[in-house]
Amino acid sequence: MRFAWTVFLFVSCSLSAQDFTEFPRTQAVVEILVTEHGFDRAQVENWMISGSYREAPSRNLAAPAETTKKYAQYKPMFLGKDTIRKGQKFALEYSELLASAEAEYGVPVSIIVAIIGIESRYGQSSGRHGTFNSLGSLAVTEGRRADYFQREWIRFLVIAREQGLDPLKVKGSYAGATGYPQFMPTSYQAYAVDHDKDGDIDIWSDPYDAIGSVANYLNENGWRTGATIVSSATVTDPNSAVKVNSFDRSRTLAEVEQLGWFSAIRESGEAQVFPIRLDAEEGTQYWLGYRNFWVISRYNRAIAYSMAVFQLAEALEQK
């Protein structure tokens, strides 16, 4: 049954709306899905009625743990003994395909496993939020980012059709990321690979494809095989004019050395670096991230996230 869109467009966009038909932006999504992607109009409209707006995505998006918690609080969330133990088990169980992913994409096994561990607890906890509702809620109300989430919402439905998934049953993060590697729909389309060569790209139930997709993601974003990720630093003047905890790419090692920051792992003076100050359990720590540290941040643009990946990878290697 066709929606009476002329009526809905005049309905107040109440945050307590029961479904997406009460939001004017929804009509554009329906039209794109039907006219550009060949979806059945009745099916799409049924999804819009069956789905429901959620306030949690916008609220959580405004205050993610990686930017609101001190590192001393953030680190234990991902570097507990249980996380490390399960990471070891995951690495052993999928050792062959992890090794082939490292050989093909140049990304260390420990980094691949650490990302999957942080993102989804090695596939055991890929999210509790309905992806359709999360993306839809952000697409219809999230201010300047609404266009971005609208595109992700549309891509998610295209992917769900390709994979034979019920879009109303897929679970993921509050921001709409799904699967072992917690890819947004755009990332799935750009980076997901058929690592086990079975003719299907499945990051939701196939750890093999998830492994290859994480490695491909980092490789495509500029991972340098064997290069330094991050190094501890000695700082002679903590009050020097060094911009810390930023992914500003304008600073070189030589420049920060002149300001009293010295890397324990010495690379070329022209190497791009990212000065880091962490409020860790042991007190203030100073680090210098190199290019591969920045590459990890393409997954999640937060210093705490990239550092947690690195330190979990180190813990897995030590074990």
Structure tokens at 227: 């290069």
Is residue 221 within 8 Å of residue 106, measured between CB atoms? no
SS3 157: helix
The owner of tokens 């590459």 is: 295
Pairing of strands 129-130, 171-172: antiparallel
SS3 111: helix
Active site residue 267: no
* Cα four-point dihedral sign 43, 44, 49, 50: positive
Set 119, 220, 267, 270: catalytic member:
119
SS3 16: coil
185 pairs with which residues across the strands? none
Rounded CA gap, 57 and 116, in Å?
22
* Residue numbers annotated as active site: 119
